[in-house]
Chain A
Amino acid sequence: MTVNPEIHLSLAAVLAAAICLAVSFYLAAWLVRRGGGRRRPSGTGEPNWSVPTLDAFADRTSFFHQWDPRHKLVSLFLFCFLVVSLKSLLWSAIAFGLTVVAAFACRIPLHRAGKRLLAMAGFLTMFMVMLPFTSPLRSGEALVYLPGLDGLPFHMAGFHLALTIVVKACAVALMMEPLFATAPLPVTLAALSRLGVPDAVGQMVLLCHRYIFVFLHEMTRMYRGMRVRGFVPGTDIGTMNAMGNFLGMLFVRSFERTQRVYDAMLCRGYDGRFPSFTCFTATGKDWTKAVLWGLIGLMLLVFDRIGGNFF
């Protein structure tokens, strides 16, 4: 076993790095929030339950918008799988670079992609913090000793692994906007149904997507009512009781409403599927784009397996 190089950091260096990280994170969060253009009034104590509309920018024109949804779904889905099977940091970073280009090319405001990245921040931070300290010792890897943590070295190999995971997760997250936001949801679902997904699944996704916004509205209204009546959430049985009843009430009201809507749909001749007038015509261009993305993904994987060990 080779000797592990040991690096001892001073307290000042660690503090400076921590401050830099915190500042850049808050700056990024602030930029995303400012880009969102929506500022909820502060001090109302009402939680932010807003859900982004998935296909708000589906009517633009771009490389991804003008791509047959069937080809787009298959090739980008495959691309995502190829990206997550990468193993080296170098090629994951190159894949990330490609997806950044895609995120720009799909002409959808970047704060939406930024929000996606922020949503993963908690889970990924856990990896960034835990992996370097808990990964097993590998021969030849550098160990960094932080001040005050002499028994707990920071493994560079673990850090490397965590960074690779974060880069891959961000890469796939950035592909979500080109994949799902560049066509209206019904068109995406119609394309999925042509690809062999059962009709019932598409129907349920469509219904649920509709109901999410209805229920959120209902939930916000009920919660506002609770706050007006003096409800303050805490860690006690009373809060559990209130939230249990709140959920139960949400179920009951939503169920009755959905039942009425469903009955009305049946009266109007609903037989398990909405009539769809979407027709897909694939041209050579669609095939070319599909082959192009597939090849890019495959090349990433091949280079990763052959040349990934340099880095």
Chain B
Amino acid sequence: MHISDGVLPATVTIASYAAALAGAAWSLKQVRNEDLPKIAVVTSSFFVASLIHLPFGPTSVHLILPGIVGALLGPASFISIALGLFLQSILFQFGGLTALGANTLMMGVPALFCGLLFRGIRGTTALRHGIAGAICGGLGTALAAMILAGFLTTAGEDFFGVAKLALAAHVPVFIIEAGVSAFAMLFLFRVKPELLGTGRYGG
């Protein structure tokens, strides 16, 4: 779920823009030239994945994938998500232009966190990759939902109800995302494990 224009107070909008720009600048520094194709792939996939709707009971949810983006790109995931959201905003109006900073933080911070976590727990076997994928996929979405709720509550007491609804609406996404990420990681581990290898923190 993307925040649209006009929801957040002006101070939060500007502060989140500044934080997101700082994060993007840091993230851009971690990108090496040869990583460019991979970032382009993951960004475009992040973009198109939001178009995939999976049925969940009577409704349907769409994938968000901050966990997978983090696991694949590590520190470069923040800039990748910023660019993906920028394109979604100018092409589809998924999330507004002025809320781009908040949206980038909402998805980028979980992606960075999941990248670190994935590196820590992935182990060397296929099973552990699957479990790590499930944890990162679910946790990434859960963190994004919590940051979304946090942003909404900064807008005032009026928004507490909406924030709770947004959290509740993410529970199905959380489940589906964990399952899909687990199988995607299993697949990548079997077919092209070198995709999971690169991307360093720091340095």
Write the residues of chain A forming the contact surface with B, with a CB cutoff of 8 angstroms: 47, 49, 51-52, 54, 77, 80-81, 83-85, 92, 115-117, 119-120, 123-124, 126-127, 130-131, 133-136, 158, 161, 164-169, 171-173, 176, 179-180, 198, 200-201, 203-205, 207-209, 211-212, 214-216, 219, 233-235, 237, 239-241, 243-245, 247-252, 254-255, 258-259, 261-262, 272
Contacts and interface: CB of A to CB of B under 8 A. Distances in A.
Contact of B93 (A119, A168, A200, A262): A119
Contact of B192 (A120, A172, A255, A262): A255
Nearest to A205: B83
Contacts of A250: 45, 48
Contacts of B4: 120, 123-124, 169, 173
B110 interface: no
Contact of A255 (B1, B48, B195): B195
B28 A200 contact: yes
Contacts of B40: 204, 207-208, 211, 258
Given A51-B91, A81-B13, A247-B65, 16 more contacts: A116-B93, A134-B160, A134-B161, A135-B158, A167-B6, A171-B6, A204-B36, A207-B36, A244-B179, A244-B184, A244-B185, A247-B49, A247-B180, A251-B41, A251-B42, A251-B195
A85 B7 CA distance: 10
A120 B3 CA distance: 9
B68 interface: yes
A16 B157 CA distance: 31
A215 B57 contact: no
A229 B86 CA distance: 36
A80 B191 CA distance: 46
A234 B52 CA distance: 13
14 contacts: A84-B96, A85-B13, A120-B96, A124-B4, A131-B162, A166-B6, A173-B4, A176-B93, A205-B83, A207-B36, A219-B48, A240-B182, A245-B187, A248-B184
